[in-house]
């Protein structure tokens, strides 16, 4: 998580409480996840720094528990602001974990204990023929990336992994072992929903501002579509306009 960021505690349905960014809470509120639709009162405020070192259970992970760690490249305008680390196939995640494992000064700066990061190694999840079982580790080494601050090189590595890591790539572990990532992704997603280990979350691909200046979200709501050329509804409107219930302010209207 981002150490200097501000997170909130929000009440959701089924007596659950989420720690997320305010932006994510707003999205959840209009996607029928919060306790009351459209409302997301913040019950408490916490900083990312105060959460570092908290023991967590990561769904489907090899380790029984992992720890919340700092990551300086996290964006508070994307997702929930809190992410699950996948150092085997995310160059950003591997660079951040490696920095904490090898740099005592960085651990001291953020108050991270060795036990929270040093014993944890990347776990092979997929095999990409060009990059092997640990694609992030290989690319970080091949591109001679020194730290999580090497943003341009990390983007290059990330693009390479994401380009190759979806189609015709096999899963190595889990309930979809042996299947392609393309086939496995929706199955694992549904499994997480069924087991109550995750909830759906939607947001625009990039920032969208409405004509009124508001930041747009993806909302769960009832929608209808009009067939503009259909005579049936046009006739209903015509009768209403000519009826006694319709009053126009201007005769020209």
pLDDT digits (tens, 9 = 90+) for 49-104: 999 999 999 999 999 999 999 998 888 888 888 888 999 999 999 999 999 999 99
Residue in this structure with the two tokens 């005769």, named with its chain if needed: 251
User: What is the pairing mode between strands 6-11 and 17-20?
Assistant: antiparallel
Helix (H, G, I), strand (E, B) or coil at 73: coil
Alpha-carbon gap, residue 175 to 16, rounded angstroms: 27
pLDDT digits (tens, 9 = 90+) for 208-246: 999 999 889 999 877 777 788 888 889 999 999 999 889
Which candidate, 57, 64, 29, places its Cα nearest to that of 202?
29
pLDDT digits (tens, 9 = 90+) for 109-166: 999 999 999 999 999 999 999 999 999 999 999 999 999 999 999 999 999 998 888 8
Helix (H, G, I), strand (E, B) or coil at 139: helix
Helix intervals (H) in 83-199: 91-102, 104-110, 135-142, 151-164, 181-194
What is residue 252's predicted lDDT score, i.e. its pLDDT? 80
Verdict on whether the full-model pTM lies above 0.75: yes
The mean pLDDT of 177-198, rounded to a whole number, is 94
190 C-beta neighbours (distance < 10 Å), count: 11
Superfamily for domain range 6-242: Valyl/Leucyl/Isoleucyl-tRNA synthetase, editing domain (3.90.740.10)
What is residue 123's predicted lDDT score, i.e. its pLDDT? 95
Considering all CA atoms of the chain, what is the largest pairwise distance in Å, rounded to the nearest integer? 81
Alpha-carbon gap, residue 208 to 211, rounded angstroms: 10
What is residue 107's predicted lDDT score, i.e. its pLDDT? 96
Half-sphere exposure (CA, 13 Å, Cβ side) for 129? 4
What is residue 75's predicted lDDT score, i.e. its pLDDT? 87
What is residue 7's predicted lDDT score, i.e. its pLDDT? 96
What is residue 112's predicted lDDT score, i.e. its pLDDT? 96
As given in the structure block, the two tokens for residue 133 are: 């079982």
Q: Is the pLDDT of residue 168 over 80?
A: no
């Amino acid at each position: 998580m981002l150490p200097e960021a501000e997170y909130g505690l929000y009440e959701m349905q089924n007596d659950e409480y989420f720690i997320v960014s305010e932006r994510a809470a707003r999205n959840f509120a209009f996607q029928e996840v919060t306790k009351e639709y459209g409302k997301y009162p913040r019950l408490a405020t916490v900083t990312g720094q105060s959460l570092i070192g908290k023991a967590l259970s990561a769904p489907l992970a090899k380790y029984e528990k992992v720890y919340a760690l700092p990551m300086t490249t996290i964006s508070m305008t994307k997702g929930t602001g809190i992410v699950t680390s996948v150092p085997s196939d995310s160059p950003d995640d591997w660079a951040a974990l490696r920095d904490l494992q090898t740099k005592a000064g960085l651990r001291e700066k953020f108050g991270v204990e060795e036990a929270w990061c040093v014993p944890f190694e990347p776990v092979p999840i997929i095999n990409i023929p060009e990059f092997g079982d640990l694609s992030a580790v290989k690319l970080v080494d091949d591109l001679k990336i020194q730290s999580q601050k090497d943003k341009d090189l990390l983007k290059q590595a990330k693009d390479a992994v994401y380009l190759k890591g979806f189609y015709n790539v096999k899963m190595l572990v889990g309930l979809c072992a042996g299947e392609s990532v393309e086939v496995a992704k929706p199955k694992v997603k549904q499994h997480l929903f069924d087991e109550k280990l995750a909830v759906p979350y939607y947001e625009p691909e990039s920032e969208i501002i409405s004509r009124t200046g508001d930041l747009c979200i993806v909302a769960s709501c009832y929608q209808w579509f009009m067939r503009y050329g259909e005579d049936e509804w046009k006739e209903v409107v015509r009768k209403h306009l000519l009826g006694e219930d319709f009053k126009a302010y201007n005769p020209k209207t």
